[in-house]
């Protein structure tokens, strides 16, 4: 099954199968060490730069800003939800414990 994803409105929305599903106005809770030194970091997304699908998981590349320390940076491959039985189920922004894994680690595990 093909999952069609794209960004809309200059990165304000992620569209999944032609329906607006994820908005940038959410604050995501990111675990420590991936974005800034806050633990956890509460990051307000400013724009989605790109969106991709890996298996059934939808990942977004975004730009965000930490509400506590003000760090503003790109975020790569933030999982924003997954597709189950053709239906998009967004993750809870407050529940995501996202962290960056170095490419080498990821490759060696696969």
Q: Give the footprint of Zn ion on this chain (CB under 5 A).
A: 36, 38, 41, 66, 68-69, 71
- Residue 108, classified by CB atoms within 10 Å of its CB into exposed (0-12), middle (13-18) or buried (19+), is exposed
Closest separation in Å from C-beta 31 to Zn ion: 12
Closest separation in Å from C-beta 66 to Zn ion: 3
4 versus 67: smaller Cβ distance to Zn ion:
67
Closest separation in Å from C-beta 42 to Zn ion: 8
Describe the chain by its helix, strand, coil percentages, rounded to 5.
Answer: 5, 55, 40
66 versus 83: smaller Cβ distance to Zn ion:
66
Q: Which backbone phi and psi does 9 adopt, to 5 degrees? A: 50, 55
**Spatial separation of the C-alpha atoms in residues 99 and 91, rounded to whole Å:** 15
45 versus 66: smaller Cβ distance to Zn ion:
66
Cβ neighbours of residue 105 closer than 8 Å, sequence gap 6 or more: none
50 versus 68: smaller Cβ distance to Zn ion:
68
Closest separation in Å from C-beta 1 to Zn ion: 38
């Amino acid at each position: 099954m093909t999952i069609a994803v794209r960004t809309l409105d200059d990165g304000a929305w992620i569209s999944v199968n032609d329906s607006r599903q994820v908005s940038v106005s959410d604050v995501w809770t990111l675990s420590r060490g991936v974005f800034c030194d806050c633990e956890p970091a509460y990051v307000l997304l400013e724009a989605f730069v790109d969106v991709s699908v890996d298996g059934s998981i939808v990942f977004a590349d975004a730009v965000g800003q930490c509400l506590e320390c003000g760090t503003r940076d790109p975020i790569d491959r933030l999982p924003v939800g997954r597709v189950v039985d053709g239906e998009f189920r967004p993750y809870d922004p407050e529940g995501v414990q996202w962290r960056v894994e170095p490419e080498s680690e990821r490759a060696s595990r696969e």
